[in-house]
């Protein structure tokens, strides 16, 4: 499995709009056959900092996600709302090691 963790810092004036746009992207992403999970988290100590936790069956599924209309719409919509450049870190899942185990636990 392939996991992407993205930290996003949003300008306070755009926080509510960012949340709405990001939830819409997450819902659409969850409908993709290669997506297993998409969590949208808001920091307790800084409500303008968000963490997106995305799990895909493999790296190819993530690459496909990055070519969807909903991803392009999200990326372009929220770009000017960010207080600084978002930071994405890609991971390979060690445990659970496959989608079957993941979906049984989720």
Q: Report the residue count for the chain.
A: 106
CATH of the domain at 70: 3.30.70.100
Domain range for 52 is 2-105
Between strands 49-56 and 35-42, the pairing is antiparallel
Residue 102 has pLDDT above 90, yes or no: no
If you average pLDDT over residues 73-95, what whole number do you get? Answer: 93
Domain count along the chain:
1
On whether the CB atoms of residues 48 and 83 are closer than 8 A, the answer is yes
**CA gap 90, 11 in Å, rounded:** 25
Band (101; pLDDT cuts 50, 70, 90): low
**Model pLDDT for residues 33-48, shown as the tens digit of each residue:** 999 999 999 999 999 9
Residue 93 has pLDDT above 90, yes or no: no
């Amino acid at each position: 499995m392939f996991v992407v963790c993205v930290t996003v810092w949003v300008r306070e004036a755009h926080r509510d709009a960012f949340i709405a746009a990001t939830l819409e992207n997450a819902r659409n992403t969850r409908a993709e056959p290669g997506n297993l999970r998409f969590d949208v988290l808001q920091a307790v100590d800084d409500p303008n900092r968000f963490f997106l936790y995305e799990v895909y069956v493999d790296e190819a599924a993530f690459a496909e996600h990055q070519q969807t209309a909903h991803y392009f719409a999200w990326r372009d919509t929220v770009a000017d709302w960010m207080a600084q450049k978002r930071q994405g870190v890609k991971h390979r899942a060690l445990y659970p090691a496959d989608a079957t185990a993941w979906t049984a636990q989720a």
